[in-house]
Amino acid sequence: MNPALAKAFKAYDIRGLAPGELDTAFARRLGETLVAEFKPTRVLVGRDMRTTSPELEAALVDGLTSQGVNVTRIGLCSTPMFNVSVGLGAGTYDLGVMVTASHNPGEYNGFKIVKGDLMPIGQGSGMEAIRDRFLSDATLRLRSGQAPGTVADDANALKNYLDKIFSLVDVSRIPPMKIAVDAGNGMNGLIMPELTKRLPQCTFFALYWDPDGAFPHHEANPLKSETLEDLRRLVGSTQSHVGAAFDGDGDRVGFTDELGEPIPGDLMTALLAESLLASAPGAKILYDLRSSWATKEAIESAGGVPVMSRVGHAFIKRRMREEGGLFAGELSMHYYFRDLWNVESGDLCLLLLLRLLAQTGKPLSRMWKPLKTYAKTEEINSDVADPAGGPSGAGKDAVLRRIDEKYRASASSVSDMDGLRMEFGHDWWFSVRASNTEPLLRLIVEAVDEKIMAAKRDELLKLIRGS
């Protein structure tokens, strides 16, 4: 195989241009590779709405069944619907494969792979072995004389998914509300029409609910403020109580309040944690190391035990199992639930938020803005080139060493679980992390006021960018 394809095997999934890099030959060989590596007998397969997804799914299934594996297809689905389908199988499936490139533009596609226990396969948990076996010039050890596996279709996956998430929230006490939802032409356009039927007391205003792999209106990425402009206008014109925007495969959700103001992911983690802790005091709540001090403080104030985690769904899901965490949230707007096998569901987040609004009777703006007690940057990306002839990542490593040397001695707290995170009393802190896939360093700074934050931000950026 072409060694250039190695770059498609990312930290958390397989992703690339389709069909330029990921074509039907790639998908079929991936199916064969998964059988050779993990020796599954039954695999669940789903796909998103991208134009190349049907052909990649068909080739993947062909590769799996050619080796005697029995495949269950659930067809078009969101990633949460896919994950819950694996979970509801209760040990039926050895692997699950979702054909999707999440929020990436329409010319991309990819594969998310999970084990039967819903632990994701990524960097350090099997992705390197898949890559190496896939790229090996040696012929895969295919099962000779093996009868082809079967293919079955599960037409009840969407109903079963909704049954599960609605079993976790009593929606009978949610009063009439107005909710604006931007599905971004992604897979939540499949979920929302059925979800709304179960909340007949609420009025939903639809924005881009038609699944379209070309993403004709905007990138389906709620982390980017510019993608929320249409939703913010819709919230205002309809006087909605809340706005929700989903990413392409539905595993992330961003919210706006009734004024159309976006709510940062770390502060939404705090809000949801407070709600969940009301019925589970003393539970552990995980948050990623980019999160505001306010997130930790809100968890403690609500009677929970805050646990900081490194960034990334594979790491957080593993840590949730280790800690027995009730809930976890990331700045990137991934939210994870113990009652859903530690996987994400933006749909469940929406139900919980509606329940919280009903319980408090307060406008959403009055619930989250009091949490905004610190001055904090967004995540700032800086290009860091490698020195000529040097190994990949050498440039980023050198900058991290310079930062470490400058600040470690004066820091009151240092963590190197994911790049560098240093705190300086209760005045300010920063996090600098290297991108897993690009020559970038990502910086966040938070402080007790804007003046300190701006000064420290500029100081660190000068050190990172060498100017």
Give the residue numbers annotated as catalytic, written as ranges.
Answer: 102
Which residues lie across from 70 on neighbouring strands? 42
Write the DSSP string, 414-466.
EE-SSSEEEEETTTEEEEEEE-SSSSEEEEEEEESSHHHHHHHHHHHHHHHHT
Which of helix, strand or coil describes residue 330?
coil
Q: In angstroms, what CA-CA distances link 111 with 34, 46, 131, 247? A: 12, 10, 13, 16
C-alpha to C-alpha distance for 341 and 357, rounded to whole angstroms: 26
C-alpha to C-alpha distance for 241 and 246, rounded to whole angstroms: 17
Q: Is 369 exposed, middle or buried (0-12, 13-18, 19+ CB in 10 A)?
A: middle
Write the DSSP string, 371-417.
G--SEE---EEEE-PPPTTPPTTHHHHHHHHHHHHHHGGG-SEEE-S
Q: Which of 191, 196, 186, 194 is nearest to 222 (CA)?
A: 186
- What strands, in cross-sheet order, belong to the sheet with 305-309? 305-309, 284-288, 327-329, 335-337, 343-344
| Whether residue 19 has a cis bond before it, omega within 30° of 0 | yes
- The first and second tokens of residue 448, run together, are 């007790």
C-alpha to C-alpha distance for 181 and 241, rounded to whole angstroms: 11
- The first and second tokens of residue 420, run together, are 């560098």
